[in-house]
Amino acid sequence: ALGRPYVWGASGPSGFDCSGLMKWAWAQAGVSLPRTSQAQRYAGHMVPLSEARPGDLVAYRADASHIAMYVGNGQVIHAPYPGAPVRYDPVGMMPVSSVTRV
């Protein structure tokens, strides 16, 4: 998925939006997630950011309008916005609203 383009409403594998990437990634492990970032933030139990582990979902902004996957070492993988490929970024790139362990 790394390097694939951002495509609004896409769930891969040729393109992704933020929640589509999370849904696709967890499906590779046999886990079904809801489709939207707002629903995905409630797809497990919340943990403090300081306890984040690889695979945890990181929701951004109070309305959970963006979501990423924690990969360790203070980094997430996400589909950021139109025109940008799936990439790694620092977990604190935007205000974190919650961390969910699936």
Catalytic residue among 66, 70, 91, 100: 66
Catalytic residue at 45?
no
Catalytic residue at 78?
yes
Quick one: three-class SS letters along the chain? CCCCEECCCCECCCCECHHHHHHHHHHCCCCCCCCCHHHHCCCCEEECHHHCCCCCEEEECCCCCEEEEEEECCEEEECCCCCCECEEEEHHHCCEEEEEEC
Catalytic residue among 68, 78, 79, 86: 78
Catalytic residue among 1, 18, 59, 76: 18
Q: Which residues are catalytic?
A: 18, 66, 78
